[in-house]
Amino acid sequence: MKRRPWFLFTTLVFGFAFFYVPILSMIVYSFNESRLATVWGGFSTKWYVSLLSNRQVGAALMLSLQIAVISASVATILGTMAGIALARYTRFKGRLLFSGLVTAPLVMPEVITGISALMLFILMADWIGWPGQRGFTTITLAHITFSMVFVTTIVQARMMQADRAIEEAAMDLGSRPWQVLWDITLPTIFPAILSGWLLAFTISLDDVVITSFTTGPGNTTLPLLIWSKVKLGVTPDINALATLTVLVVGTGVVIAGILLNRAEARRIRDERMAYRSHD
């Protein structure tokens, strides 16, 4: 550009200030001595001490992580299957309904997803006696359902770009479909599967609404614990918790970003090498 678009740059600066000033403010106030969360009363790390010695927080975090790992893993398996199926099989009975079922949860308001899952679980308990009590299992089932469609979206998009010729070559050479899936398709789309898992994991770890509808007595995940606390107002230990979250997530995202970039660069380089040796 010959002209510098000052207006656009100013908006960028303003926009990023808008994004990050509240987070910075929260981090600063997590070191506040005062009990009043918004009035500065000197530097202190006491909220971190009280947070780290809080057993409830630790238990809620463990429960959240367990649910997130299990639901993300199952969602990744189911979502990947659906993504491959939709990309490979362009015509089968009920495909229209199937593709509708994997897009509808993406746009469904969370309240409705939550309330419909809750009604299903209550009615199932009434009809077939299961689930007797809502909690870990029901939360996990609901999380798998609404996070698997995100995995499907990512995997399907990657499959559309993938070269089918290698799979066809393997089939022609006598490989069984499962062998082709395992040896060729899955390694090719592995980065997409990995980002799908990470997305499903984050969605599960972060969810409040659907969890609050499908949970039962005594099953408090970390977002539910925060939710019940912040409904009553601003408390300083949540500032400390938020700071730790930003720290952990920020580090994780930066590392993941670097690794993914590197993997992508390697893939491109390998492809170029392959073409060059082919010439």
Partner 1 sequence: MRARLTHWLNGRGFAGILIGLPYLWLLILFLLPFLIVVAMSVATRTPTAPPFGFGGENPLVNLDGYARLFTDDLYIRAFTTSLLNAGVATLLCLLLGYPMALGLTRVSKGWRNILLMLVILPFWTSFLLRVYAWMGMMGRNSWFNQMLTDAWNWLTPEGWAVTSLPLMHSNFAVVLVMVYTYLPFMILPLYASLERLDPALDEAAMDLGSRPFRVFLDVTLPQSIPGIVAGALLVFIPAAGELVIPTLVGDAASPMIGRVISDEFFSARDWPMASSVAVALLLLMVVPTMLYSRAQARADGAEAKPGGQTQP
Residue number with CB closer to partner 1 (153 or 277) = 153
Q: What does the alpha-carbon distance between residue 79 and residue 87 come to, in Å, rounded to a whole number? A: 12
Nearest distance, CB of residue 277 and partner 1, angstroms: 24
* Token digits of residue 192: 């997409």
Q: Out of 39, 49, 52, 169, which residue is the one contacting partner 1 (CB under 8 A)?
A: 39
* Token digits of residue 44: 């202190």
262 Cβ contact partners less than 8 Å away, ≥ 6 residues apart: none
Please report, as a single letter, which amino acid is at residue 9.
Answer: F
Q: What does the alpha-carbon distance between residue 139 and residue 222 come to, in Å, rounded to a whole number? A: 13
Query: Is residue 152 a contact residue for partner 1 (CB under 8 A)?
Result: yes
The residue range among 43-51, 54-62, 142-150, 267-275 that interacts with partner 1, by the rule CB under 8 A, is 142-150
* E strand spans, the chain: none
Query: Is residue 162 a contact residue for partner 1 (CB under 8 A)?
Result: no
Contacts with partner 1, 239-268, as mask; x by CB under 8 A: x-xx--xx--xx-xxx--x-----------
Q: Out of 52, 62, 104, 259, which residue is the one contacting partner 1 (CB under 8 A)?
A: 104
The residue range among 47-55, 175-183, 186-194, 271-279 that interacts with partner 1, by the rule CB under 8 A, is 175-183
Q: What does the alpha-carbon distance between residue 113 and residue 120 come to, in Å, rounded to a whole number? A: 11
Nearest distance, CB of residue 165 and partner 1, angstroms: 18
Query: Is residue 227 a contact residue for partner 1 (CB under 8 A)?
Result: yes
Nearest distance, CB of residue 259 and partner 1, angstroms: 13
Give me the helix-helix angle, 236-278 and 222-230, nearest 10°. 140
Size of the site for partner 1 (CB under 8 A): 89
Q: Phi-psi bin for 191: left (phi > 0), alpha (psi -120 to 50), beta?
A: alpha
Nearest distance, CB of residue 276 and partner 1, angstroms: 21
* Token digits of residue 245: 């979250």
